[in-house]
Structure 1
C-alpha cells in the first residue's frame, strides 16, 4: 500500500465526514443565528431559548438526511472492503 493510496482514502473519508457534519449542523447554526438576533433585538437573555430550536432542527435534519448519510457511509465502506485486495497487493 502506497502513501498516495492512503492519502486518497483519507481525503475521501474526510470529505464524507465534512459533508455529513455540514448537512446536520449547518441548519442548526442558522437557527441559532436567527434566535440570537431575536434575543438581541428584544434583549431577552435566556440561554434555553436558543437550545430547543437548534435541537429540534438537528433532529429533523438527522431524520430527513439519515438515509442518505447511511447510504454514503455504507457505499464508502463497501468500496473500501472491495478494494482491500487491490490495496494490499
Structure 2
C-alpha cells in the first residue's frame, strides 16, 4: 500500500462524509437561524423551542434522502473493498 493510495482513501472518505452530512447540517443551520430570529423578535427564551423543530426537520431530511445516503455509503464501501482486493492480489 503506497502513500498515495492512503491519501486517496482518506480523501474519498472525507469527501463522502461531507457530501452525506451537508443536507442534514444545512437544514439544522437554517432552522436554527429561523428559530433564533423568531426568539429574538418575540423574546421567548424556551430551550425546547430550538430542539424540536430541528429534530423534526432532520428527521424529514433523513426520510427523504435515506435511500441516497445508503446508496452513497454502499458505493464507498464497494470502492474500499475493491481497493483491498487489488492490494491482496
TM-score by length of 1: 0.92
Within 2, Cα distance between the matches of 1:26 and 1:79? 27
Aligned residues: 89
Structure 1 runs of 4+ aligned residues shifted over 3 Å read none
61-70 or 76-85, larger mean C-alpha shift = 76-85
1:1-89 equivalence runs, <5 A: 1-89=1-89
TM-score by length of 2: 0.92
Give the aligned CA root-mean-square deviation in angstroms. 1.2
Unaligned runs of 5+ in 1: none
Unaligned runs of 5+ in 2: none
Q: Deviations over 1:20-66 (max 9, x none)?
A: 11111211110011010010011111111111110000111111111
